[in-house]
Amino acid sequence: MNYIEPDIFNNFDKFMTDYGKLETVEQIEKLHTMLKPHFLRRMKDEVEFSIPPLKETVIEVGLTSI
């Protein structure tokens, strides 16, 4: 983040002091507000409709003698 926003993210120690242990809702909301312009999250069902739903296949494998 220092590379993208050196004016805002210029002190690692201060950042860790403020956000190293996210203990309050206010800390989380403030950090989220700071990072929001730099992150974009899209879910598969919002973007690509032709991808089939995820299937889970369980294959049981026996242990070898070793």
Domain ranges of the chain: 1-66
- Tell me: pLDDT of 63 over 80: yes
What pLDDT shows up at residue 51?
77
Helix (H) or strand (E) holding 33: helix 25-35
Average pLDDT, the chain: 86
The verdict on pTM exceeding 0.75 is no
Percent of the chain past pLDDT 90, that is, above it, reads: 18
Question: What would the two tokens of residue 3 be?
Answer: 């590379």
* Interatomic CA distance for residues 19 and 16, integer angstroms: 5
What pLDDT shows up at residue 56?
94
What pLDDT shows up at residue 60?
94
* Interatomic CA distance for residues 41 and 52, integer angstroms: 20
- Give the single-character DSSP code of 8: T
- Would you place residue 40 in the very low, low, confident or very high pLDDT band (cuts 50, 70, 90)? confident
